[in-house]
Amino acid sequence: MEIAVSTGSLSLNTFEAIERAAALGFNAIQVNLQQAELRYDWNRKPDLAFYQRLGEAIRDRNLTVVSAHHPILNGAQAFSQRARAELLQAAIRAAASLGAPMLVVHPADIFTNAEDLEAYFLEHNAPPVIAGFDEAWAQSANRKLRLAVENVNYWRGTIMTNHAEHLARVTEDLAVYAVLDVWRGADKPNIQKWVERLSQRILLLHMHEAVDGREHLPPLSEKWAEWVPLLRATAAQACVIEAFDPDGLGRARQYLASLWGMADLPGPQGELAGWNLTEADLASSER
């Protein structure tokens, strides 16, 4: 098991984030693709050279990229299937430059809209993917990059892919994989069900916790001791901590490593300067 940290937890400047990940002692990361760095906009020319440079910097540091995470859509992209199809292709190319084995996507990145997705869950029709999804799927397969859908529900009162039955069905229908955000999925309906329905499709675990509506706190509670033994039955080879308290990140890394039965990990390797992310920053990078 690799215990990774998401770059979005560390900085919106991803070069800075990899420095911080290494300083905290992590040797594995999830790269959150950032809108400001990928720069897919009205010109329709994403900055893929940025990800080649970033990939080199990551390899120089001997960091393992366990996943790349699709950028969080901006308002204009959310309402254009063509923009989302192009963004998905750009994200696939960026992920390939980073040597990532998988690209994590949210339902909004690949489905036409929430209403169609809800209708699909109720009826026996085909999954409502955006035009261009099939081509993107083929591109990712050619690059040996796995697409993995996360159990996310954007809008209050909607379920989207955050239910074991839903994510099982949609990943089977699309021949893609799954990422389990453990805390958010824990009561949908329970961890045992996620494992039963999706075990071999779950390639990655996202780990953080929420208290009183505040999400992305470090995974340090006793719940993880109960869940980790169940999660061993999935195909996940990595878990990604998504939280932004630097002290808590280091402690969470040690805690999770002990729960997975890993040997002692090396500690932090340096001081962290200029740590000034706020919860709002992370909310914009990982909803």
What is the binding site for Zn ion (CB under 5 A)?
150
Quick one: which H or E segment has residue 32? strand 28-32
**Among residues 25 and 69, whose Cβ is nearest to Zn ion?**
69
Q: Shortest Cβ distance from residue 123 to Zn ion (Å)?
A: 27
3-class SS string, 240-270:
EECCCCHHHHHHHHHHHHHHCCCCCCCCCCC
Query: Judged by CB, which is closer to Zn ion: 11, or 32?
Result: 32
Per the listing, tokens 């980790």 go with 228
Q: Which is nearer to Zn ion, 252 or 282 (CB)?
A: 282
Question: Please, is 206 exposed, middle or buried when counting C-beta atoms within 10 Å of its C-beta (0-12, 13-18, 19+)?
Answer: buried
Query: Shortest Cβ distance from residue 241 to Zn ion (Å)?
Result: 13
CA dihedral sign, ordered 238, 197, 103, 40: negative
C-beta of 25: minimal distance to Zn ion in Å? 24
CB nearer Zn ion, residue 19 or residue 150: 150
CB of 106 to Zn ion, least distance (A): 6
Residue among 14 and 25 whose Cβ is closer to Zn ion: 14
Element (H, E) at 75: helix 75-78
Q: State the nearest-atom distance from the C-beta of 175 to Zn ion, in Å.
A: 20
Nearest-approach distance from CB 150 to Zn ion, in angstroms: 5
Measured from the CB atom, is 25 or 234 closer to Zn ion? 234
- List, in sequence order, every beta strand (DSSP E) within 127-233: 146-150, 177-181, 202-207, 209-211, 214-217
Nearer to Zn ion, 174 or 282 (CB): 282
Q: Residue 155 gets which letter from DSSP? A: S
In the block, tokens 């995470």 appear at: 69
Biggest CA–CA distance in the chain, Å, is 55
Looking at 33-191, which runs of residues are DSSP E strands? 64-69, 102-105, 146-150, 177-181
Instruction: Select 54 or 72, whichever has its Cβ closest to Zn ion.
Output: 72
Q: Using CB positions, name the residue nearest to Zn ion.
A: 150
Please give the structure tokens belonging to residue 15: 């070069």
Closest approach, Cβ 57 to Zn ion, in A, equals 23
| Least distance from Zn ion to the Cβ atom of residue 56, Å | 25
CA distance 227 to 68: 24
Nearest to 256 by CA among 238, 244, 269: 238
Cα four-point dihedral sign 44, 45, 50, 55: positive
